[in-house]
Structure 1
Amino acid sequence: MDEIELLRRVRADQAGPSRAAVERGRDALLERASGAAGGRARGRASRLRLGARSSWGLGAFIATGAAVVALVVTIGLSSGGRPVVSPAGQTPAVDAGEAVRASEFLDDAARQVEESGDPVLAPGEFLKVESRTLHGQQLAPDGAADGRPDWYYSSIREFYIPADRSAEWVTRLVGVSYEHAADADAALVAADIEAFQAREAEMYEGAGLDPAYERAAGGQFVSAQFSPQEVARIEWSQEPAVALQQVYDLTGVNVGREMGALSTIGDLLQPGVVDAATGAVLLEAAALIPGIRLLDAPVDFSGRQGVAIAVDEGTGYEHQLVFDSETGLPMGSRAIGMPVDGTGGTVLWESSGYSSAVVGFAP
């Protein structure tokens, strides 16, 4: 039994936080968010060190940090003349007030995650995680010259994680849909989708698997970018600055490292990946990402209202981590781009949302 699994079992034997405690944490978090919207700065001028606290299969079906960076390089969005302060990540500067608001919001979010605790599973039960993803795609060879996707691929996938994490996990594809942009050539999009489906089918056929259904001991799915065992072997530091460096190492990219780090943290915060205590440290680590800021306006995330933090690396493309306005807990992430065709506004490139529940069976 590794250290993280031991921590999970110890926490499972402890009484969970009271409903009142969780609601107090949620209210404090949402008050912080509304304060940012009103432009109110907090008393602390800065926080150099956050208080220390005593993909895996899911990430495989969601954009990893490396994939986000690759997309930025591919679409080549313009910088728009914004100032740059980070040679490695090309991160635009944010003023001190924005940095403080983002830092304090994430500190509150970390406490909310830790106080909400981990799901407690009895023998034979499963943590069911529903992952909803959307990815913008582009037709070759235009390389998204206008900074807009030509079509979207969206999917709903379920994961069933057993109480004994070394036992057999299950994932199944519940639904898939394709949608082309209004101004895209319908015939070219149809051909591109067909080629996409052929490549996906070839990958699964080569592995002798059904793309809609996988079973694997310990969650070792064929599509995994990193396994549960790999994540469990990481001895996450309780110091946020060190944990952030561990995230950079796990992401494995040097260009676009800030957006890559926030994307990886979003993947790790999905239900069932890391325990609540580690999730809290990762949120504190996110507060140390250069250029991190709290968005003033609420965001609509798959029909639910959320509060988002974001990193924009000066490319006209930003990554957001979204928190549920009702619970104060992370509910997904998305990537937003600024079109380069002069039309203004933003365009959604990717999103991944998740929800979870304890169930008594797996299909």
Structure 2
Amino acid sequence: MNKTLLVTGGAGFIGANFVHYWMKTYPQDKVIVIDALTYAGNRENLELIEDSSQFEFVHGDICNTSLVEKLIDKHKIDTIVHFAAESHVDRSITGPDAFIETNILGTYSLLKAAKLKWLDEPKAKGIEAAVHRFHHVSTDEVYGTLGPNDPAFKEDTAYAPNSPYSASKAASDHLVRAYHHTYGLEVTTSNCSNNYGPYHFPEKLIPLVITNILNNKPLPIYGDGQQIRDWLYVEDHARGIDLVINKGQVGENYNIGGHNEWANIDIVKTICNLMNDAFESNPALAEKYPNAIAVASGKAESLITYVEDRAGHDRRYAIDATKTNNELGYKPAESFETGIEKTIWWYLDNNSWWEKLIGEKK
């Protein structure tokens, strides 16, 4: 059966990649994106599909419950895929208010609208509840931090968030669960490891390293750089969400990860080496990026600079995706080696996209 999706935060990094993936995989479905276009939302992320008759963009805030209700009615939305979130840990430390408002109150607003349109109104008319799914996209950071030898996070790992960002996501996860158990809203939740790939906002680690190398700027490493993260190519995340929506059990949580742990410093050094190789094998890159002095001479690693660790910095995240693998048949298509190569070349080929964002950030 064809679906009509409302994708919140669909102009952001993961949301936009999901929209591209879904429209390519299910061209018969209709996709409505709602995005407030804050600093990390970018209409250009959706340029390639703007002209599709199966796509519509709405510039709006998920906290505007009446707007969400109108969209559900107007488009006969049967599936909400909720990406919209403030997600940068550093920003949550210096300005937590936006995280509370978007991640907690915004999720509550969506749940209220979904409950009204999918459950309450049909019940008041004496008809069956509409066929629906509310899929909530969360993060591995809600589980807290791991020691070097601790087992990876499972779906039943106790929540122990350590930053305002992760605490706000944990709260939203609990609200989604409550709306299922209290009201019967048909929900699923996925908790994913760190994503990377095209359209990643340049303040995050991997795109920051790539773009700083191209501008011959320092590559800041927090503390000793031994913080460990589990990395997943963003289209593999979209593929996992697809499986959860279409095959997952209502009310269940699913971890989506790559079983792919890397220390931050090793990620940075790997990018440096790949960038050195790219410039060595493609002389035209030095002309395209005249500021990239260190990498043009094969010395990108010389830009690495160690800085003071951030407050409450979790030491290690790791996702155990066994449940998702076994129950849904999930398996990432990209290894880190293939995914990071694709990502680097996307940034090398799309400088007009990220240069604007860096300019705005200044």
Q: Same fold (TM over 0.5)?
A: no
Q: TM-score range by the shorter chain?
A: under 0.3
Query: Which one has a larger percent helix, Structure 1 or Structure 2?
Result: 2
Which structure would you say has the larger RCO, counting Cα contacts within 8 Å and 6 or more residues apart? 1
Please report the TM-score for the alignment, with normalisation by the length of structure 1.
Answer: 0.24
Please report the TM-score for the alignment, with normalisation by the length of structure 2.
Answer: 0.24
